[in-house]
């Protein structure tokens, strides 16, 4: 049990061990990675013809929980789960959005390259 509690702390410590160059490169390309994800999502929407939205819902789960000295045999608890739902999209708007994202990505790629050039050497 203690090992499980120490894993997030170990990950945090190891994450802090990144070199200044690695941190600089990550910061320089962060926006580019976000744009790449948005472009991939929009391309998927266009290819499918619809978007997929993720909804979070809850359900009641019944469990066996016989407690000592109690008559209760079953307990209930709430459990969260996600559900993917198709959503209609305006294809013309999706194509315009994709074109805008590609233009923004091109300018962001130039900015990221300039930012990477000034990152300290390894």
Tens digit of each residue's pLDDT (9 = 90 or more) over 25-84: 888 889 999 999 999 999 999 999 999 999 999 999 988 877 666 676 778 889 999 999
CA distances from 23 to 29, 114, 115, 119 (A): 10, 15, 12, 9
Does the structure show a pLDDT above 60 at 2?
A: no
Contact in structure between 84 and 103 (CB atoms under 8 Å):
no
Q: Which two tokens stand for residue 80?
A: 């969260």
Does the structure show a pLDDT above 90 at 102?
A: yes
Q: What is the pLDDT of residue 1?
A: 47
Q: Give the number of other Cβ atoms within 10 Å of residue 102's Cβ.
A: 13
- The verdict on pTM exceeding 0.85 is no
């Amino acid at each position: 049990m203690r090992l499980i509690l120490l894993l997030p702390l170990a990950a945090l410590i190891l994450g802090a061990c990144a070199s200044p160059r690695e941190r600089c490169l990550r910061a320089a390309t962060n926006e580019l990675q976000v744009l790449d994800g948005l472009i991939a999502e929009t391309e998927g929407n266009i290819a499918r013809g619809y978007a997929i939205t993720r909804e979070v819902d809850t359900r009641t789960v019944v469990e066996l929980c016989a407690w000592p000295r109690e008559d209760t045999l079953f307990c209930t608890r709430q459990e969260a789960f996600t559900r993917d739902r198709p959503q209609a999209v305006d294809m013309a708007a999706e194509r315009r959005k994709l074109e805008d994202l590609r233009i923004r990505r091109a300018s962001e790629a130039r900015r990221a390259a300039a930012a990477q050039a000034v990152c300290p050497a390894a």
